[in-house]
Amino acid sequence: MLTEAARVLIFLGILLVAAGSILLLMQKSELSSMFRWVGNLPLDFKVEKENFRFYFPVGTSITVSLLLTILIYCFNKFIH
């Protein structure tokens, strides 16, 4: 059981490193324009004052959660 948990953690670590690398590479490419909606949805709250900045991305969180839920559902449906 411990080796299975270790494998899952290693896989998640590799996945996070790959996702971070992809995001860094996309920053300089034309693909970054595809994700301009992130952080600019109707339920994303932004408050900017002189010495204060607050950002609460409710809309983006809901959208990402729905996309991940659909992705995981499809993955589990095809696996089982």
How far CA 55 is from CA of 33, 34, 46, in Å, comes to: 21, 21, 5
Both 28 and 49 in one domain: the answer is no
In terms of pTM, does the model score above 0.85? no
Task: Give the lowest-confidence range in 14-18, 22-26, 28-32, 40-44.
Answer: 28-32
Is residue 33 scored above 80 in pLDDT? no
Is residue 17 scored above 80 in pLDDT? yes
Distance of CA 71 to the CA centre of its chain: 12
Predicted confidence (pLDDT) per residue in 46-77, tens digit: 889 999 999 888 988 898 899 999 988 988 88
Is residue 23 scored above 80 in pLDDT? no
Both 9 and 46 in one domain: the answer is no
Ramachandran bin of 38, using left for φ above 0, alpha for ψ from -120 to 50, beta for the remaining angles: beta
Both 80 and 46 in one domain: the answer is yes
Both 45 and 56 in one domain: the answer is yes
Both 32 and 46 in one domain: the answer is no
Q: Which domain holds residue 28?
A: 1-36
Given pLDDT bands bounded at 50, 70 and 90, which one contains residue 32? low
As for how many domains the chain has, the answer is 2
Both 25 and 58 in one domain: the answer is no
